[in-house]
Amino acid sequence: MPDTATDVVELKIPAKAEWVSIARLAVSAVASRLQFSIEEIEDVKLAVAEALVHAISGGGTSVDMICESLPDGLRIRIRNFGVPAPEAVDADGDSEMGNLGVFLIRALMDGVEYDARPDGRTDLLMFKRLPA
Amino acid sequence: MDIKVNVREAKGDSSVVDLAGEIDVYTSPKLKDAVSSLIDKGVYNLVINLEKVRYIDSTGLGVLIGGLKRVREHGGSVNLVCTNPQIKKIFDITGLVMIFGIFDSEDAALRALV
């Protein structure tokens, strides 16, 4: 996953289901700004929503969405404190139904990584490549 | 963002559930309530019309899968009406096209009910 962000857009939402749609709208606008196609924007929107659903599932007060414009695409971090990443993120095999959200993220995005800090901060990083 | 749910009786002992809007982690409980209520009343053959649905996530898919599992216990089935390419794509990549009957029209979905 490339490392040099040019522009960054951040959004903090309450860790509640009713706010996920706001993040979906925001990431759609960012992806549109970066000239992704309509189909790619829908992919990003769904992947972000799935990551947020996981992040809010463990409670907590808020979740951060950090969108980073990269020369070749869009990197999105979904950051929370205290909710571990889903196990299947690092798995190579097929996901079971319980991991449908993780399966969708992996299918719709070009890169998925997971960064957990000892202080409990967890980042789920997703990358969508711009068409060449 | 909201979802509209409308339930109609159809031929035989089947019902049609019309959905409009977005099915996500916030709105899917409304769909779950509607489907559960029908099954609790003994309606085991359902057509769920997704033609006016703009978005669905894994929580919405989970509700549909849960409903399908319940009606199958009673010999019933759930057929979907779906014409939105993006939503069809989600059913494709998750393999759910192999589990649900997915049709382009309500008539076809009703005809195909067991």
User: Per-residue pLDDT tens for A85-128?
Assistant: 665 444 443 333 348 899 999 999 999 998 888 888 889 999 99
Residue spans per domain, chain A: 7-129
The tokens 């970066």 sit on which residue? A34
Which backbone phi and psi does B52 adopt, to 5 degrees? -100, 15
Which backbone phi and psi does B98 adopt, to 5 degrees? -85, -15
Q: CB–CB of A17 and B25 under 8 A?
A: yes
Minimal Cβ distance to A50: which of B55, B58, B93: B58
Quick one: which of B51, B29, B61, B24 has its CA closest to B108? B51
Q: CB–CB of B24 and A17 under 8 A?
A: yes
Q: How far B112 CA sits from the closest chain A CA (Å)?
A: 26
Which backbone phi and psi does A63 adopt, to 5 degrees? -135, 135
Minimal Cβ distance to B65: which of A45, A97, A103: A97
Minimal Cβ distance to A21: which of B26, B62, B94: B26
What average pLDDT score do residues B54-64 get? Answer: 96
Give the model's confidence band at A3: pLDDT under 50 very low, under 70 low, under 90 confident, else very high: low
Bin B74: left if φ > 0, else alpha if -120 < ψ < 50, else beta.
alpha
Q: How far B10 CA sits from the closest chain A CA (Å)?
A: 31
What average pLDDT score do residues B71-99 get? Answer: 95
Decide if pLDDT at B42 tops 60. Answer: yes
From chain A, the residues in CB contact with B61 under 8 A are 100
Does residue B8 contact residue B18 with C-beta atoms inside 8 Å? yes
Return mean pLDDT, chain A. 87
Give the model's confidence band at A59: pLDDT under 50 very low, under 70 low, under 90 confident, else very high: confident
Q: What is the DSSP string of chain A?
A: -----SEEEEEEEESSGGGHHHHHHHHHHHHHHTT--HHHHHHHHHHHHHHHHHHHHT--SEEEEEEEEETTEEEEEEEEES-PPPGGGG--S---GGGHHHHHHHHHSSEEEEEE-TTSEEEEEEEEEPP-
C-alpha of B39 from chain center: 13
Q: How far A4 CA sits from the closest chain B CA (Å)?
A: 31
User: Does A7-129 carry CATH code 3.30.565.10?
Assistant: yes
What average pLDDT score do residues A30-44 get? Answer: 96
Per the structure, the count of domains in chain B is 1
CATH number, residue B15: 3.30.750.24
Q: Residue A60: what pLDDT?
A: 81
Top pLDDT among A119 and B100 is at B100
pTM of the model: 0.89
Return mean pLDDT, chain B. 95
Give the model's confidence band at B114: pLDDT under 50 very low, under 70 low, under 90 confident, else very high: low
Q: CB–CB of B57 and A53 under 8 A?
A: yes
> Could you list the residue range(s) of the whole structural domain that residue B30 is in?
3-111
Would the CA dihedral through B58, A2, A87, A54 be positive or negative? Answer: negative
Q: Residue A119: what pLDDT?
A: 83
Decide if pLDDT at A33 tops 90. Answer: yes
